[in-house]
């Protein structure tokens, strides 16, 4: 007899998100899904299921089942807040002016350096729980507010602890190349040497991050400096991503394509040839409408061109205190549609299949497919598009992370 499997959900409509086309949800009506040991065994029409029952058999009562949500770009570990800049931004001061005046990233660096691991953990935990309540089952969290070896390691240890403490898969990214810290007196080259010679090796030695990221911008690091950073990061075995073409055109996207990086993030100022290179190099776009919205930017990322080149488009919160104080991935998805013209189906792909690709997880997450991780959300809606349409309205009825149901997540 078939040994009993862990779980089975029946009487459901399923949005598998398993078609490479962003235009549809990969819908299965009258479906069921079975899992064992945290992996999906069967997903398909109920009347073809080889599994009649399981240890846990659930009647989905006609609800929709989707993959768990993936927030593939956050800076949610930091101390303090930047509410004081809110008025200045609204009065027309630019993000770059605030940064040049010693505000911006540097003020969060000061607060984060002064905080200990316990404080950083407890502050970040509150923000992470907001994402978990929406059904986020995988999250990427960056360092980048330490900007020296000890404080970058401190941040990355907190990021690891968050993954150990909460029912979510955390992927850590080292963003030591986020800004030039005050002690380097605006000398990016000197600080970059410190990142390459001291910080990245220490992070690799403790295995505290799988990817390296960079802020390639007029107020941070150039394309050539990005190339130098990526050479070192590649030698140390890191995967690569970058904040590129966010406020100006710096050529960062070209460097990402040279290195077949995982993702190009922001890309409001990307050019048509750069999009073509992304398609050839298999680089995923990460669309971050929270920063565009909060900073009052005007240049939108070229969604139509990305769509025409079939570049996968992820959507993420970019949760950070200075440019995107947004702790809702569903709101980010709504903004991507309303501000940038993404469709709800593209936004759903952006929070699942394409977000997995942006983290190099496209072979096991972001779709309801046999052999993939059993990260599942059950929603009481008539169609998944409602979840993107109504702002801050819906939460999953039930959440499974690697086949384990989350019993409670404080909202």
For ligand DI6, the binding residues (CB under 6 A) are 104-105, 108, 178, 215, 243, 246, 291, 320-323
Q: Residue 11: in which H helix or E strand, if any?
A: strand 7-15
- Which residue number places its CB atom closest to ligand DI6? 322
- Which residue number places its CB atom closest to Fe ion? 318
Contact 369, 43 (CB under 8 A): yes
Smallest distance, ligand DI6 to C-beta of residue 349, A: 23
Smallest distance, ligand DI6 to C-beta of residue 34, A: 42
3-state SS, residue 223: helix
Angle among Cα 283, 173, 320 to the nearest 5 degrees reads: 100
CA distances for 291 relative to 85, 287, 296, angstroms: 14, 10, 8
Smallest distance, ligand DI6 to C-beta of residue 362, A: 24
CA distance 150 to 206: 12
CA distance 321 to 323: 6
Q: Look at residue 104 and give the partner it binds from Fe ion, ligand DI6, none, a contact being a CB closer than 5 to 8 Å depending on partner kind.
A: ligand DI6
CA distance 117 to 129: 18
CA distances for 407 relative to 174, 366, 397, 410, angstroms: 32, 22, 11, 10
Of 292 and 394, the one with the shorter C-beta distance to ligand DI6 is 292
Q: Look at residue 211 and give the partner it binds from ligand DI6, Fe ion, none, a contact being a CB closer than 5 to 8 Å depending on partner kind.
A: none
Work out whether strand 39-45 and strand 27-36 pair parallel, antiparallel, or are unpaired: antiparallel
- Distance between first and last Cα of the chain: 42
Of 238 and 394, the one with the shorter C-beta distance to ligand DI6 is 238
Q: Look at residue 322 and give the partner it binds from ligand DI6, Fe ion, none, a contact being a CB closer than 5 to 8 Å depending on partner kind.
A: ligand DI6
Smallest distance, ligand DI6 to C-beta of residue 246, A: 6
Q: Look at residue 301 and give the partner it binds from ligand DI6, Fe ion, none, a contact being a CB closer than 5 to 8 Å depending on partner kind.
A: none
Q: Look at residue 323 and give the partner it binds from ligand DI6, Fe ion, none, a contact being a CB closer than 5 to 8 Å depending on partner kind.
A: ligand DI6
Q: Look at residue 321 and give the partner it binds from ligand DI6, Fe ion, none, a contact being a CB closer than 5 to 8 Å depending on partner kind.
A: ligand DI6
DSSP 171: E
Residues near Fe ion (CB under 5 A): 318
Of 32 and 267, the one with the shorter C-beta distance to ligand DI6 is 267
Smallest distance, ligand DI6 to C-beta of residue 179, A: 8
Smallest distance, ligand DI6 to C-beta of residue 61, A: 42
Smallest distance, ligand DI6 to C-beta of residue 223, A: 15
Q: How many other C-beta atoms are found inside a 10 Å radius of the C-beta of residue 367? A: 22
Q: Look at residue 191 and give the partner it binds from ligand DI6, Fe ion, none, a contact being a CB closer than 5 to 8 Å depending on partner kind.
A: none
Burial of 69 from C-beta contacts in 10 A (0-12 / 13-18 / 19+): buried
3-state SS, residue 201: helix
Smallest distance, ligand DI6 to C-beta of residue 326, A: 11
Of 32 and 291, the one with the shorter C-beta distance to ligand DI6 is 291
Of 14 and 285, the one with the shorter C-beta distance to Fe ion is 285
CA distances for 320 relative to 83, 213, 327, 332, 354, angstroms: 12, 15, 9, 13, 21
In the numeric block, which tokens belong to residue 10?
A: 């029946």
In the numeric block, which tokens belong to residue 78?
A: 């930091």
Q: Look at residue 263 and give the partner it binds from ligand DI6, Fe ion, none, a contact being a CB closer than 5 to 8 Å depending on partner kind.
A: none
Of 120 and 374, the one with the shorter C-beta distance to Fe ion is 120
Of 318 and 375, the one with the shorter C-beta distance to Fe ion is 318
């Amino acid at each position: 007899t078939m040994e009993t499997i862990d779980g089975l959900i029946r009487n459901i409509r399923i949005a598998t998100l398993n078609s490479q086309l962003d235009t549809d949800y990969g819908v299965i009506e009258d479906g069921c899904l079975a899992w064992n040991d945290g992996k999906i065994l069967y997903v398909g029409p109920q009347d073809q299921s080889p599994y009649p029952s399981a240890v846990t058999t659930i009647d989905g009562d006609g609800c929709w089942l989707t993959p768990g949500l993936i927030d593939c770009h956050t800076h949610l570990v930091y101390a303090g807040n930047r509410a004081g800049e809110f008025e200045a931004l609204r009065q027309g001061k630019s993000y770059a002016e605030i940064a040049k005046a010693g505000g911006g990233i540097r003020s969060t660096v000061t607060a984060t350096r002064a905080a200990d691991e316990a404080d950083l953990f407890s502050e970040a935990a509150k923000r992470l729980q907001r994402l978990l309540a929406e059904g986020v089952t995988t999250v990427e969290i960056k360092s980048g507010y330490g900007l020296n070896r000890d404080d970058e390691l401190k941040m990355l240890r907190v990021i690891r602890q968050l993954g150990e403490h909460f029912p979510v898969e955390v992927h850590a990214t080292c963003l030591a190349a986020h800004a030039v810290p005050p002690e380097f007196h605006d000398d990016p080259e000197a600080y970059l040497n410190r990142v390459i010679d001291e910080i990245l090796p220490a992070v690799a030695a403790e295995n505290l991050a799988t990817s390296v990221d960079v802020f390639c911008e007029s107020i941070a690091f150039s394309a050539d400096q990005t190339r130098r950073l990526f050479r070192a990061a590649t030698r140390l075995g890191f995967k690569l991503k970058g904040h590129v073409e966010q406020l100006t055109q710096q050529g960062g996207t070209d460097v990402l394509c040279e290195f077949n990086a995982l993702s190009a993030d922001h890309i409001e100022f990307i050019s048509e040839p750069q999009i073509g290179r992304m398609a050839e190099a298999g680089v995923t776009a990460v669309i971050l409408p929270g920063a565009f919205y909060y900073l009052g930017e005007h240049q939108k990322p070229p969604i139509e061109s990305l769509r025409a080149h079939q570049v996968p488009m992820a959507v993420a919160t970019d949760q950070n205190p200075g440019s995107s104080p947004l702790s809702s991935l569903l709101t980010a998805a709504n903004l991507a549609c309303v501000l940038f013209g993404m469709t709800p189906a593209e936004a759903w792909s952006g929070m699942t299949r394409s977000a997995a690709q942006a983290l190099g997880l496209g072979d096991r997450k972001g779709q309801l497919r046999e052999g993939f991780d059993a990260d599942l959300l059950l929603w009481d809606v008539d169609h998944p598009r409602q979840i993107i349409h109504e702002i801050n309205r819906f939460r999953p009825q039930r959440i499974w992370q690697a086949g384990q149901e989350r019993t409670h997540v404080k909202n």
